[in-house]
Amino acid sequence: MPVSTEADSVRTERNSEAPWDSFDSLAYFEHNYRTLRSDDRQILARVGAHFSAHFAEFPAKQLHGIDVGAGTNLYPALAMLPWCETITLFERSAGNVEWLGRAKAEGFGANWQPFWDVLTVNEPYDLFPDPRAAFSRVADVRQGDLFGGLPGSGYGIGTMFFVAESLSTEYGEFQDAVSAFAGSLAPGAPFAAAFMENSLGYEVGDLRFPACRIEAEHVTHSLEPFAAEGMKVERIDIPAELLLRDGYTGMLLALGRRSDGTG
């Protein structure tokens, strides 16, 4: 997830103005996902329990899933794996698309095993064979701009992690990104979306990227029109070791199901 910096707080930067193709995939991966952090562990545990409970109530398989703005984070895709025939990993940045393509072609790295292990306390992750091979089989890496339209609609399951609030300083673009994500889901599709709370921008390698400062009420407000009753927005604290270094106040996790209405 992004590391916030106060220095960005005053500058307005729209999504189309940020240098996405120069996003340093390796630096981002090393900083965030080389090892499993306690906040990601908490998020992943909740996401796994959410999907597991959803499909225990509404059985389904061979779904088409989507992770919007996948970056170099494979754990949202891992959380969708047992139910998916395809998982579209949708990304704007050329560098991230290349990174994702390598993860598919070569098989994901050993660092992702502890992430998978968090999921296996729930059914059916516990009995799911060879997630590494399954990821390579189902991952469908696509480059594109979520504002120009996602590559399809009617996805049966979806995730969007640290994207809508981390692509622009503009609240309108935050809302539009959430709408694009939620609008791509089929009626009844379970979803998980994570957000940085009060982020003012972040650095990846030598470059800064914009963020929009949001809190739980903004997440609720933007997703509610699309969500069935019972959506939860939870707050996850920053790990103690990061308190002094990173300029955001926490993370927010929305877990729900797409409503049957048109949204």
Interface residue list for ligand SAM (CB under 6 A): 1-2, 15, 20, 23, 32, 69-71, 73, 91-93, 96, 145-147, 161-163, 166-167
Q: Which C-beta is closer to ligand SAM: that of 24 or that of 122? A: 24
For tokens 């545990």, the residue is 45
- Least distance to ligand SAM from the beta carbon of 193, Å? 10
Closest to ligand SAM by CB, 118 or 163: 163
Give residue number: closest CB to ligand SAM. Answer: 71
Please report how close the Cβ of residue 172 comes to ligand SAM at its closest, in angstroms: 13
Residue with tokens 């470059």: 207
CB of 42 to ligand SAM, least distance (A): 14
Whichever of 93 and 259 has its CB closer to ligand SAM, that residue is 93
Closer to ligand SAM by CB, 196 or 259: give it: 196
Q: How far is the CB of 229 from ligand SAM (least distance, A)?
A: 27
Cβ-based nearer residue to ligand SAM, 2 or 256: 2
Among 215, 211, 220, residue whose Cα is nearest residue 182: 220
Q: At what angle do helices 171-183 and 216-223 cross, to 10 degrees?
A: 50
The answer to whether the peptide bond before residue 124 is cis (omega within 30 degrees of 0) is yes
Structural contact between residues 79 and 161, judged by C-beta atoms closer than 8 angstroms = no
Q: Which residue number, 211 or 259, has a Cβ lying nearer to ligand SAM?
A: 211
Q: How many alpha carbons lie under 13 Å from residue 161 in its C-beta half-sphere?
A: 22
